[in-house]
Structure 1
Amino acid sequence: MKFLIAIIFSVFINVQTVDLQKTREAYKVAAHDADNVNTFFRDLQSVTKKNRSELIAYKGASIALKAKNTKTLKEKKEGFIEGVNLVEYAVKKDSNNIEVRFIRLSIQQNTPKILKYNQEIENDKAFIMRHYNEIKSAHLKMHIGDYISNSKKFSDADKAALDL
């Protein structure tokens, strides 16, 4: 019984120590470097649907990124669907969260068209454009701003409107 309590306590502590700022940085690195995907994925294993919507969305992104590097088409498809379902859950849980919408946008903009996961690109982009200047966290603003600055999906006019 003590062993079970110790396991539950350690899982609870582990979930509570997932650092959002470090997760953002890990996402940026994992999105550009396949070697870091496994670390990003592993760091989010303790996240559940009871956690903050941002962490749920990042966990979904980690699963989708990990699926990209699997061997078979079946594994790629199943992993991608599992990851996307978590991202969509996070959006439904907190649809006015700019970070969650940003995560979905970044996945949809980088998903091959054949997978048909691109229906919300314009809505998420418009949402981010409307609310970007309302972001209070300097780290989050920089994180999203860096993505927009380097994205070919945002026009020069979009970037200028956000002072990027």
Structure 2
Amino acid sequence: MKLLLTLLLWVNLAGTPDLATIRKLYTGVTKSESNAKEFSEKLSDISNSDDKTLVAYKAASILLDSKFEKKMKNKMDRFKEGAKLLESTIKSEPNNIEIRLIRLSIQENVPPITGYKKNIKEDKKYLTDHYSAQNATLKEYLKDFILQSKSFSEKEKQFVK
């Protein structure tokens, strides 16, 4: 019985991707369709009851997948699905800085026609206001994002250097 329980626990944990891997994949996800597909596959088993940061990355994967849809209706449906999931995740954890970073990274890169650029200033302010309170690993991840972000001016980027 112990062996069965251990095996079930191992299988369950093995199916959930670790955050470090997901972060690493996310940084290169826009470089190619194959990167986007790999990212999406890693997150395919994530459900709304999982860690909210992983759920936010899954929402980002859906938003990114919409870019590769051939039919406009499918593209729009996937985009709306991803945006809705990301917004509900933020609503459930509004103080999660990494989820805010994910939304900011999406919103600064979507076309204006989507109408999904409304939280850039809010998320940018949240990142700058709460950056110093993060652990070293998350600070480094935030810093890497901020330094390449189009939303931050050169002067604003100085606070992370």
TM-score by length of 1: 0.87
Q: Does 1:74 align with 2:82?
A: no
**Cα distance per residue 1:14-59 (max 9 Å; x no partner):** 44x3100100111111133322111100110111111111001000
Verify the 8 A CA contact 1:30 1:40 in the aligned structure 2: yes
User: 2:142, 2:87 → 1: CA distance?
Assistant: 19
Matches within 5 A, 1:152-163: 152-163=150-161
1:5 matched to which residue of 2?
none
Mark the CA change 1:14 to 1:77 in structure 2 (over 3 Å): closer, same or farther: farther
2:30 matched to which residue of 1?
31
AA aligned opposite 1:26: L
Structure 2 residues without counterparts, runs of 5 or longer: 1-7
Instruction: List, as ranges, runs of 4+ consecutive aligned residues in structure 1 with deviation greater than 3 Å.
Output: 8-15
Matches within 5 A, 1:2-151: 12-15=12-15, 17-136=16-135, 138-151=136-149
AA aligned opposite 2:159: A
User: 1:130, 1:159 → 2: CA distance?
Assistant: 13
Q: Percent of counterpart pairs with the same letter?
A: 37
Cα root mean square deviation, aligned: 1.8
TM-score by length of 2: 0.89
Mark the CA change 1:115 to 1:11 in structure 2 (over 3 Å): closer, same or farther: farther
Structure 1 residues without counterparts, runs of 5 or longer: 1-7
**Cα distance per residue 1:45-92 (max 9 Å; x no partner):** 111111111001000000111110111111111111111111111101
Higher relative contact order (CA 8 A, sep 6+): 1
